[in-house]
Amino acid sequence: MVENMRKTCFEKIYTNDSPLPYFETLTPIDYGFAHNELLSMLNSYFKDNFRMDTKEIKFVELGSSYGNTTLAYRCSSDWDAVGETWKTPEKLTTSGRKLHVSAVDLSSKALQYGLAKGIFDSIFVYDVNSMALSCDIESSLTEAEILVFFHSSFYFTLPALKQIFSVFLRGRALKKMICYNWLCTFDSQRNLTPEVLFQNESNWSYIVKFCKHRDFTEEELPHYGGSKEAWTFIYIVTFYPID
């Protein structure tokens, strides 16, 4: 994990039986802003690149938690719609999109909730930084066409991410996509641009959006010179097949 004493620790909201404390804690600091920006980018990207209504697309999501980001690409849910999903006890109904989501997270409670809710199709309780990929996770990464990690790159070491990328991009027989964001406000000592992360790969391109991540908490405000908002880069990187 990247250490930064100027970032509020939210670990306690990832281990509840329900995601409601997560939603109720983060909504007042406008955590939904970046979620909605991501949703807009994904809807446009999928329209031009992946037909999820005709062919099942396999996703792997790192740091998935309860499935907040998953609902953006699974059901095209904005932040308010995510909150409504958490408030209802019913299992998620089909969205018309054909996809299979393998969710990876440290929190067993969050993963079990998302699986029971119908947001995830398979789950892996796993520490990405452990560096020891199981055969099942390797298989999921190799077979997947889309890899997502949103609001979680801060917690992953570069060696761990590079191992994940190496497995995910192995072979390159299919067009693949990686969607992630770099929390530059809190992670300013590292360069997580695609030019750095994928400098050893070929035949790829990306789109990027620079936008607000969320408002600072009261604890964070004194450390940022009067600024009230943390900002982030959102990247969608496309890797084209290599013959």
Helices in the chain by DSSP H: which ranges? 20-26, 32-49, 68-75, 79-87, 108-117, 135-143, 158-168, 194-197
Give the model's pLDDT for residue 230. Answer: 95
User: 61-102, pLDDT tens digit by residue?
Assistant: 999 999 999 999 999 999 999 999 999 888 987 677 889 999
DSSP string, 53-76: TTS-EEEEEET-TTTHHHHHHHH-
Residue 142 clears pLDDT 70, i.e. is over it: yes
Mean pLDDT computed over 32-47: 95
Q: How far is CA 112 from the centre of its chain?
A: 17
Give the model's pLDDT for residue 54. Answer: 77
Per the prediction, the chain carries an average pLDDT of 92
Domains of the chain in start order, with CATH, are 11-239 (3.40.50.150)
Q: Is 35 exposed, middle or buried (0-12, 13-18, 19+ CB in 10 A)?
A: buried
Give the model's pLDDT for residue 139. Answer: 96
Mean pLDDT computed over 94-121: 92
User: 156-176, pLDDT tens digit by residue?
Assistant: 999 999 999 999 999 889 899
Give the model's pLDDT for residue 92. Answer: 87
Residue 131 clears pLDDT 80, i.e. is over it: no
Residue 130 clears pLDDT 70, i.e. is over it: yes
User: 176-217, pLDDT tens digit by residue?
Assistant: 999 999 999 999 999 999 999 999 999 999 999 999 999 999
Tokens of 101: 């989501």
Phi and psi at residue 183, to the nearest 5°: -80, 75
First-to-last alpha carbon distance for the chain, in angstroms, is 37
Distance CA 96, CA 71 (A): 13
Residue 1 clears pLDDT 70, i.e. is over it: no
